[in-house]
Amino acid sequence: MDKILRIQMGAEGGPKAKVEPLPAAYAGLGGRGLTSAIVAHEVPPSCHPLGEDNKLVIAPGLLSGSAAAMSGRLSVGCKSPLTGGIKEANAGGMPAQMLGRLGFAAVVLEGKPRDDTLYRIYLGKDKVEIRPDNRLRGLGNYAVAETMKAEYGDKVSLISIGPAGEMKMAAASVACTDMEFRPTRHAGRGGVGAVMGSKGVKVIVVDDTGCGVRRPQDPEAFKEANKKFVEGLRKHAVTGQGLPAYGTNVLTNVINEAGAYPTKNFMWGRFANCNKISGETQAETENARGGEGSATHGCHRGCVIRCSGTYYDKDGAYLTKQPEYETVWAFGGNCAIDDLDAIATLDRLCDDFGLDTIETGATVAVAMEAGVAAFGDAQAAIRLVKEIGAGTPLGRILGNGAAVTGRVYGVERVPVVKGQAMPAYDPRGVQGIGVTYATSTMGADHTAGYAVATNILGVGGNVNPLQPEGQVDLSRNLQIATAAIDATGMCLFIAFAIMDQPETFQALVNLINTFHGLKLTADDVTALGKKVLSLEREFNRKAGFTQAMDRLPDFFRKEKLPPHNVVFQVKDEELDRVFNW
Q: What pLDDT score was predicted for residue 245? A: 76
Q: What pLDDT score was predicted for residue 291? A: 65
* Residue 179 CA: distances (Å) to CA of 176, 298, 430: 10, 8, 35
Residues 496, 450: Cα–Cα separation, whole Å:
10
Q: Identify the bridge partners of residue 87 per DSSP, sorted by sequence position.
A: 78
Q: DSSP string spanning 426-486? A: -TTTSHHHHHHHHH-TTSS-GGGS-THHHHTS-TTS---TTS-TTHHHHHHHHHHHHHHHH
Residues 165, 178: Cα–Cα separation, whole Å:
20
3-state secondary structure 200-247: CEEEEEECCCCCCCCCCCCHHHHHHHHHHHHHHHHHCHHHHHHHHHHC
* Residue 332 CA: distances (Å) to CA of 221, 228, 284, 402, 559: 46, 38, 18, 16, 22
Nearest to 208 by CA among 112, 116, 99: 99
- What is the CATH code for 247-426? 1.10.569.10
DSSP 8-state assignment for residue 12:
T
Contacts of 254 (CB under 8 A, 6+ apart): 456, 457
* CB contact at 8 A, 165 and 173: yes
Residues 112, 68: Cα–Cα separation, whole Å:
36
DSSP 8-state assignment for residue 335:
G
DSSP 8-state assignment for residue 250:
G
Q: Mean pLDDT for each 10-residue chunk of the chain (581 residues)?
A: 93 95 93 97 98 98 90 94 97 94 97 95 96 97 98 97 98 96 96 98 97 94 93 88 82 96 98 95 87 65 77 92 95 98 98 98 98 98 98 98 98 98 98 98 95 93 96 96 89 84 92 92 93 97 97 98 98 97 86
Amino acid at 263: T
Fold for the domain defined by 216-246+427-581: 1.10.599
Record the pTM: 0.96
Domain ranges of the chain: 3-206, 216-246+427-581, 247-426
Contacts of 231 (CB under 8 A, 6+ apart): none
Contacts of 115 (CB under 8 A, 6+ apart): none
- pLDDT per residue as tens digits for the range 253-307: 999 999 999 999 999 999 999 999 999 999 889 888 876 656 566 776 777 777 7
Domain at 3-206, CATH homologous superfamily? Aldehyde ferredoxin oxidoreductase, N-terminal domain (3.60.9.10)
Q: What pLDDT score was predicted for residue 293? A: 56
- b vs e for 302-339, b when ≥16 Cβ sit within 10 Å of the residue's Cβ? bbbbbbbbbbbeeeeeebbbbbbbbbbbbbbbbbbbbb
* CB contact at 8 A, 445 and 467: no
DSSP 8-state assignment for residue 372:
S
